[in-house]
Amino acid sequence: MRALVLARHSFRRSAPIVIGMAVVLAGFQFMLTQVAVFLMRNQAFGLLSSLIPPYIRSMAGPAMVAFMSFTGVVALGYFHPIVLASLVGLAIAAGTEPAAEVETRFADLTLARPMARRDVITRSVIVLLVTIAALLAVMTAATSIGLACCTPAAAQRPRFALIASLALTLGAIVWCWGGVALAVAAGARRRATAAGLTAVTTLAAYLVDYLGRIWDPARLASRLSPFHYFEPMTLISGGPLDTSNLAVLCGIAIAGTAVAYVRFARRDL
């Protein structure tokens, strides 16, 4: 399959940064398990909760109590803003590769061979999905190893199903923005333009969702943000995995991919 040949080329180019991110994220996930053990042994969870002002606790609700627990600290790496921003940034980089190839005229060399335009988009989809899956697998493995080898038996360890659900939810929001980036890049002539537009849109959507969670007038607008459907704290609080939220995020990713196929097929190179 020609798309796999292009994907192999893309993997070779992105391997250093993906491997570097895998090492950093795995180390962070492992160390969070040790932070949770440290806090448990020093009985610090109750102290942390007492330091939070009552109005913030009432605003956050049960989710805040759940976060100030062994499970909450271990799960932090699956929704920490820096981790989320790093993975979304990597997804945007992978999704805007078609624009980079148009800008550098590499697309002319590629499509001069017996290759359909759809193969270029299929390549980006493969790279995006494999990269996200690999990083999430490494993060989940690091969490599992930290809990298995270096956690006292008395600790209330999170179930693997919870960790898997958190990873699945994180993967859905990252794939969502990767699909949006791919749709934008399929019609752009410069990678910086496509990446910048997607990044600004991501930031705006994140801030709109944040305002909607704490300010009633913005609550309706926050439903337009994909981050509105990213609810890891519900899982930590003991709630079930909301498949409707996953469906929305995956639906946006699929819609973005479909738009990318159409735009790239009709555009002038």
Q: For residues 138 and 145, what is the distance between their CA atoms, to the nearest angstrom?
A: 10
pTM of the model: 0.91
**Identity at 223, one-letter amino acid code:** R
User: For 150-170, how does the pLDDT look when each residue is reduced to its tens digit (9 = 90+)?
Assistant: 888 777 888 999 999 999 999
In angstroms, the CA 126 to CA 5 distance is 11
Find where tokens 């909760």 sit. 49
Q: Rounded mean pLDDT of 124-153?
A: 94
pLDDT greater at residue 183 or residue 62:
183
Q: Where are the domains of the chain?
A: 2-266
- Above 90 in pLDDT, residue 174? yes
Contact 147, 33 (CB under 8 A): yes
What whole-number distance in Å separates Cα of residue 125 and Cα of residue 178?
9
Q: Are 21 and 90 in contact (CB under 8 A)?
A: yes
37-96 pLDDT tens trace: 888 887 766 665 555 555 445 444 445 555 678 888 899 999 999 999 999 999 999 999
Rounded CA gap, 179 and 53, in Å?
Answer: 39
